[in-house]
Structure 1
Amino acid sequence: AARDERPARRRDGRVELPRGAHLVDEGGLTFEVNFSERLDCGLFLDHRETRSMLRELMKRTPGGSFLNLFAYTGTASCYAADGGAGLTTTVDLSRPSLDWARRNMERNGFVGRNHEFIQADVLQWVADRRHEHRYTWDLIFCDVPTFSNSNRMHASSWDVQRDHADLIISVSRLLSRGGCAIFSCNLRSFKPDIETLEKAGVELVDITAKTISEDFSRNPKIHHAYLVTRREDGVTARELGL
């Protein structure tokens, strides 16, 4: 999608507020939403508890690093930064979404070179980082699309049921020692390939129930969420408070 080139308003002379956008507060943070100019409003309400969980997990490693994959408007990055992340890496294929993520971060006071925004095909980017063996993060959030066949992707298509195991394994290889990731998807019928993941030394714990807020309790399959750790690290969900 092309970036909206119409004049943008400014809030307090600091961070632009695009036409049709409004500001909302959540968890002590401020986010930009847009209900009139865009199909996507900018905030996935069903992941409110997940975002809070990421903030608490980040507090375990003050000054640590956070990676947000398929980052959309960067709300998870804001929560991680609020939890004390010294470095955030926000990755998405969409330039408008990354611009939105940058505004969300700036509006909450998270600015500077330690907060990077990368426009890339997430699947290819993760594969490249995995094989370079030079990059690790203490906490990773990976909220994947159910399906994609964008012509900007390196792969011909993405299907979460078919392709999730390889991605989760790759994400686990980007974790620093003792680190963890949260993997989520919206496919109601999703079934993780536990056997393949276990063979690769990946521990998967279903934490979906802990990420569903009360206002979504009547529709608990709104998303699936899993804690991802590496078996060799011996980190348990209980130790992480999950």
Structure 2
Amino acid sequence: MKKIQVNKRAIKKFKRGYPLILAEDLTSDLPKDDFVKLYAGPDFLGTGYLSKQNKGAGWLLSRADIQIDQAFYMEKFAEAKALRANFFEDELTTAFRLFNGEGDGLGGLTVDYYAGFAVFSWYNSFIYAQKTAIVEAFRQVFPEILGAYEKIRFSGLDFESAPLYGKSAPEPLLVMENGVNYATYLNEGLMTGIFLDQKNVRGSLVNGLAAGKSLLNMFSYTGAFSAAAAFGGASQTTSVDLAKRSLDKTREQFSVNGIDPDSQKIYVMDVFGYFNYAKKKKLSYELIVLDPPSFARNGKKTFSVAKNYGELIEESVDILAKKGIIIASTNAANVSAKKFEEMVKAALAKRGVSYEIFQRESLPADFHVADSFPEGDYLKVLFIQVK
């Protein structure tokens, strides 16, 4: 295991157990894809690995001088399983995060649970190279898992998704969350059909927030928010997404819950185009959900949360019913919770409306976040009543 020297600026954060290793933390050239021991002079700081990924150069795994092997992985999986014991007992929810990367002590890997099946996501080439030991450790700790799939979230391989072991999941695989059914596909590219980190937001829609209200779901993807709202008693849902596949996927989410898709409205179009359409038709909505991708391109037009989220808020205010609610959400890692709230408030101020932020959500408990790495809690959601 290679010994790597850390510069003075980084010593304190690693002593606190901060897990993310950045290139600028190190005084020497980065070795490619290897386990390392971090030192400040003669002082040992911790054990980890280096491998380039979108978040940085690698991960600190332990403050102790240890071997990273199958026994280490088993220990981490066992700790993660114990933390989620109550989720396995919840009869109304059968999909959740089993293992949350650095939050559970192994940056670069997440594992999600879908009604008896597991989905591994590998975020760099080195952690993927440890797959044999990691998967065997997982199978020892989770023998009840029927089968598993893997998602490749780094460049260099010629596939995105593949079966990993065990039985094949049915297509669609129906999972339940807060009593609502969702159709998922575990081997259809990087996505499965539902973003599990939005469980609490969908739960609010199911448990009364949407009751009797008209809902507009922008960037609707497979319509999960719309299905939750309809299940929760919404008077009408409207789903808007530019991707053509969203139409059939959204209809399916209604159908698996016994809701006639023809009773709901689904549009395949650009969201800003829909805002203009709604204004021309003098449409209004009592509840608007805004959960865009961090970055998107439509022809020559680009959208990024950091630059353009305020525009979504302004456009939403223009078609919001009296005393309507906006659910403003982002998972953009480059936008802090403080900056996000400032952007939203600035946009509301431009429209000259009074408002109350009556609820805030972040990652649900199954997306365990390490105390030493609070930025791992990337989800920011504001529930805003415009008065």
Please tell me the TM-score bracket, short chain as reference: 0.7 to 0.9
Q: Could you tell me which residue of structure 1 aligns to residue 266 of structure 2?
A: 117
Q: Could you tell me which residue of structure 2 aligns to residue 150 of structure 1?
A: 298
Q: Is the 8 A contact 1:86 1:114 kept in 2?
A: no
Q: Is the 8 A contact 2:255 2:261 kept in 1?
A: no
Q: Could you tell me which residue of structure 2 aligns to residue 165 of structure 1?
A: 310
Aligned CA distance change for structure 1 residues 204 and 126 (closer, same or farther; 3 Å): farther
Shift of 1:49: 0.4
Q: Could you tell me which residue of structure 1 aligns to residue 186 of structure 2?
A: 35
Q: Deviations over 1:76-101 (max 9, x none)?
A: 11111111112111111112122111
Shift of 1:196: 4.0
Q: 5+ residue gaps in structure 2?
A: 1-169
Q: Could you tell me which residue of structure 2 aligns to residue 138 of structure 1?
A: 286
Q: Deviations over 1:154-193 (max 9, x none)?
A: x611111111112101112221111101011111232232
Q: Is the 8 A contact 2:362 2:378 kept in 1?
A: no
Structure 2 SS opposite 1:215? coil
From the CA coordinates, give the structure whose radius of gyration is larger: 2
Structure 2 SS opposite 1:214? coil
Structure 1 SS opposite 2:183? strand
Structure 2 SS opposite 1:222? coil
Query: Given the alignment, which residue of 210, 233, 239 partners 1:90?
Result: 239
Q: Could you tell me which residue of structure 1 aligns to residue 224 of structure 2?
A: 75
Aligned residues: 206
Q: Could you tell me which residue of structure 2 aligns to residue 226 of structure 1?
A: 382
Aligned CA distance change for structure 1 residues 221 and 176 (closer, same or farther; 3 Å): same
Residues in 2 aligned to 1:112 and 1:31: alpha-carbon distance in whole angstroms: 14
Q: Could you tell me which residue of structure 2 aligns to residue 212 of structure 1?
A: 363
Shift of 1:118: 0.6
Residues in 1 aligned to 2:363 and 2:327: alpha-carbon distance in whole angstroms: 14
Residues in 2 aligned to 1:75 and 1:30: alpha-carbon distance in whole angstroms: 9
Residues in 2 aligned to 1:206 and 1:157: alpha-carbon distance in whole angstroms: 31
Residues in 1 aligned to 2:266 and 2:357: alpha-carbon distance in whole angstroms: 29
Q: Is the 8 A contact 1:51 1:76 kept in 2?
A: yes
Q: Deviations over 1:135-162 (max 9, x none)?
A: 01111111111111232xxx61111111
Residues in 2 aligned to 1:91 and 1:84: alpha-carbon distance in whole angstroms: 20
Give 1:225's aligned amino acid.
V
State the percentage of identical aligned residues: 29
Give 2:367's aligned amino acid.
F
- 1:177-188 equivalences in 2 (<5 Å): 177-188=322-333
Q: Is the 8 A contact 1:66 1:88 kept in 2?
A: yes
Q: Could you tell me which residue of structure 2 aligns to residue 238 of structure 1?
A: none
Q: Could you tell me which residue of structure 1 aligns to residue 174 of structure 2?
A: 23
Q: Is the 8 A contact 1:73 1:104 kept in 2?
A: yes
Residues in 2 aligned to 1:184 and 1:170: alpha-carbon distance in whole angstroms: 15
Q: Is the 8 A contact 2:286 2:320 kept in 1?
A: yes
TM-score by length of 2: 0.50
Structure 1 SS opposite 2:259? coil
Q: Is the 8 A contact 1:216 1:222 kept in 2?
A: no
| Comparing 193-202 and 181-190, the one that deviates more | 193-202
Structure 2 SS opposite 1:216? coil
Q: Could you tell me which residue of structure 2 aligns to residue 201 of structure 1?
A: 352
Shift of 1:204: 6.4
Shift of 1:26: 1.3
Structure 1 SS opposite 2:227? helix
Q: Could you tell me which residue of structure 1 aligns to residue 46 of structure 2?
A: none
The runs of at least 4 consecutive aligned structure 1 residues that moved more than 6 Å come to none
Aligned CA distance change for structure 1 residues 214 and 204 (closer, same or farther; 3 Å): same
Residues in 2 aligned to 1:165 and 1:37: alpha-carbon distance in whole angstroms: 33
Q: Is the 8 A contact 2:223 2:249 kept in 1?
A: yes
Q: Is the 8 A contact 2:199 2:364 kept in 1?
A: yes
Q: Is the 8 A contact 1:139 1:179 kept in 2?
A: yes
Aligned CA distance change for structure 1 residues 204 and 133 (closer, same or farther; 3 Å): farther
Give 1:184's aligned amino acid.
S
Give 1:78's aligned amino acid.
A
Q: Is the 8 A contact 1:204 1:228 kept in 2?
A: yes
